[in-house]
Chain A
């Protein structure tokens, strides 16, 4: 998976508990992304990062926060998990080129999260 490790791979938690998912890359790519994937919705962007401590919201960011203190790590936190956040979460990285253009994303294997 192109030097991307997501942990944990599976997580079951209870409503109201905090959850942190980790994405670690060994490619030194500038851009990192968190997506959720649900049946019938495809991939939806939660948050992304364009550098250390530089992050921005995606289309479904409510209830999620992120942090990137090092190039290689991008953390996704659910402060108080809800059942609607049951999903498969994917991290992706991209080298991208300045001004847009080629932007191939490489995805991790995913984290399956169940909130009971």
Chain B
């Protein structure tokens, strides 16, 4: 069947470069945000989260930045590796148990 990565915005980078994946969210009342990674043929996996009272949060090789003024979220991946090739989704939560997912960005890492 078709890959979920088709029809999505695509970011192509060279191995070792830093990657920045962007997400615009819709509701200014959203107070909790998550980034997921989905590899081909697998379910989405949690990468990192951030609450609305923070602007930045760092994990291992990943950093999430939140700009509430323009309702923008970004995921930075340092020293991108071929294993980082996947579709990346952001999700926003508004004090509910039903997140809203973005459509995703396909990241392709060239060796």
Q: A39-B3, A107-B44 are in contact. Are A100 and B101 (CB under 8 A)?
A: no
Question: Would you call B49 and A102 a contact (CB within 8 A)?
Answer: yes
Contact string against B for A residues 18-56, beta-carbon threshold 8 Å, 1 for contact and 0 otherwise: 000000000000010000010111110100101000000
Give how many A-B residue pairs fall within 8 Å (CB-CB). 74
Of the four ranges (under 10, 10 to 19, 20 to 34, 35 or more), the interface on chain B belongs to 20 to 34
B1 touches A112 (CB 8 A): yes
Contact across chains for A43 and B44 when beta carbons are under 8 A apart: yes
B49:A104 contact, CB within 8 angstroms: yes
The answer to whether B2 and A100 have CB atoms under 8 Å apart is no
A85 to B41, CA, bound (A): 18
Which A58-116 residues sit within 8 Å CB-CB of chain B?
58, 88, 90, 92, 94, 96, 99-110, 112, 114
Please determine whether A100 and B1 come into contact, CB atoms closer than 8 angstroms. no
A42/B31 in contact, CB under 8 A: no
Contact B42 A100 (CB under 8 A): no
B111 proximity list for chain A (CB < 8 A):
none
Do B43 and A109 touch across chains, with their CB atoms under 8 A apart?
A: yes
On whether the beta carbons of B95 and A42 are closer than 8 Å, the reply is: no
Complex interface: chain A residues within 8 A of B65 (CB): none
Minimal Cβ-Cβ distance residue in A for B6: A39
Nearest A residue to B43, CB-CB: A107
A50 CA to B97 CA, complexed, in Å:
9
The one of A99, A105, A107 in contact with B95, judged by C-beta atoms closer than 8 angstroms, is A99
B98 to chain A, nearest CB (A): 7
Docked CA distance A42–B44 (Å): 11
